[in-house]
Amino acid sequence: MDFLIKFAQAHETFRVAEIQALAVIEGVNLEILDYNGDSPFCIIRLHSSRDARKLIRRSILAQSAHELWGTGATLDALHQSVKQRTSKRWTEYKSVSFKFDIDSYQGAHSNNERLSTINTFDYLPFEGPIRMSQPDETFTVFELWPFNSVPLGIEKPTRIYLGRLVGKSSRETVLKFDLKKRSYVSTTSMDSELSLITANIALAGPGKLFYDPFVGTGSFPIACAYFGAMGWGSDINGRSIRGEGGPKSLKGNFQQYDIEARLGDVFAADLINSPIKKNRQIWDGIVCDPPYGVREGLRVLGLKDPEKTPWLIEQGKQNAASPDFVPPKKPYSFLVMLDDILAFAAATLVDNGRLSFWMPTANDEDQEIPVPTHPSLEVVVICVQKFNKWSRRLITYSRLSDERISAAAVAEYKARKTVGSVGTTVDDLNPFRRGYFRKFEP
């Protein structure tokens, strides 16, 4: 059966990625028949209306799913399509209550024109009552108009669809988790919409363990927990986790949404100095937004030159267990951090588990930072959120099973030269930061 998905006008490059991920989560066979990022309409093929409802029910970027009754370049062509596709099914809807809507994208109609269009469907043998509120069935005429059609005086749409509503999405969840309503946030907290989309693309769901190694105030574990996963997290800055305590803390955020039971634990650590054992595949998913190092240089636990400061090593051994102990930090290369994220994911993800992390880059191809690779991970999808001269990409990988990992690729990976930037200053160690403050000028 063919269905029409109506997307919200947001994050166009994320739409298909989210729908495809939801098909994996729900176990439905999805075929995308027609989609263009300039249009909010996507035509897909599924086995049944039940599958369509399952596919759409936790989507953030979709608004609704409709059984496709017909399509055409003109209203007459639409009517012909409707008769060819659905005439044998009209008796199923003969006695139900119903209503017709018109949804015009980039176009507009007067009320009289809308009513006139609806009346052209009077050949449908619907004898049930018309109910504008909570009818049994809702039929919608979707119109796709050219850009700027109203000021240009364009009189007709380029494509028209008729769809029967079969399911609505969870887009309203974005408002529930709006950062403006959250008790504890920081300047780097990921907004609720993108957090929920990331959790969907990473396949968060009941019975799964999800981890954020740059947890901050907890946006990603909260989104994963909402979809049923158990959320875990760590951060090099324990103060960002603790906050002021009570409601003004990461745990307080989980309590605010009544999902505290799905918070595994959070702890202070960095990615390469972690209590999590390597080569122990425990995580079903890793989701994170690593620091970009723009406000201040990236740091990792350790000493920049331990041979020159041996007393700090001894001091650390003596005071490490003290609650007031603040461990020293050393500069961290941006490129090394990206490499470490992939290595950590390869060592701790279950087979087919997903890593979804955000990575900034310049829009200029000559200054663009390449997508990092690892022989144990394959890229599933790359989604892009563009700003002015830079973008951030949500890169999603899947962990390969051991038998699928190429021995030659592993050998080549181990034989690489150092991936880090050369130098000692924060700009030397971070090509994105360097480009950001130069406004990405050549």
* Distance (Å, whole) CA 161 – CA 88: 19
Query: Among 3.90.1150.10, 3.40.640.10, 3.30.2130.30, 3.20.20.10, what is the CATH number of 2-170?
Result: 3.30.2130.30
Q: Which two tokens stand for residue 288?
A: 């994170």
Low-confidence ranges of the chain (pLDDT < 70): 417-425, 442
Instruction: Provide the pLDDT for residue 60.
Output: 98
Q: Is 271 within 8 Å of 340 (Cβ atoms)?
A: yes
The separation between CA 59 and the C-alpha centre of its own chain, rounded to angstroms, equals 10
CA distances to 127, 145, 360 from 123, rounded to whole Å, are 11, 26, 55
CA distances to 223, 286, 331, 382, 405 from 199, rounded to whole Å, are 6, 9, 30, 14, 26
Instruction: Provide the pLDDT for residue 172.
Output: 96
Neighbour order of strands in the sheet with 230-235: 263-268, 230-235, 209-212, 283-288, 349-362, 390-399, 377-386
State the burial class of residue 148 (Cβ atoms within 10 Å of its Cβ: 0-12, 13-18, 19+): exposed
**Chain segment 356-374, per-residue pLDDT in tens:** 999 999 998 878 899 999 9
Instruction: Provide the pLDDT for residue 310.
Output: 79
Count of Cβ atoms closer than 10 Å to residue 331 Cβ: 18
Contacts of residue 74, defined as CB under 8 A and 6 or more positions apart, other chains included, come to: 156, 160
What does the DSSP assignment read for 295-334? SS--EEES-S-TTT-HHHHHHHHHHTTSTT----EEE--H
Query: Among 2.70.70.10, 3.40.50.150, 3.30.70.100, 3.30.1360.70, what is the CATH number of 174-298+333-438?
Result: 3.40.50.150
Pairing assessment for the beta strands 209-212 and 283-288 based on DSSP bridges: parallel
Instruction: Provide the pLDDT for residue 420.
Output: 62
State the burial class of residue 266 (Cβ atoms within 10 Å of its Cβ: 0-12, 13-18, 19+): buried
Instruction: Provide the pLDDT for residue 8.
Output: 96
Query: Of 18, 7, 15, 47, whose CA–CA distance to 31 is shortest?
Result: 47
Query: Of 233, 349, 225, 231, whose CA–CA distance to 281 is shortest?
Result: 349
Contacts of residue 299, defined as CB under 8 A and 6 or more positions apart, other chains included, come to: 236, 329, 330, 331, 332
**Domain segments of the chain as ranges:** 2-170, 174-298+333-438
Residue with tokens 């191809």: 365
Instruction: Provide the pLDDT for residue 424.
Output: 67
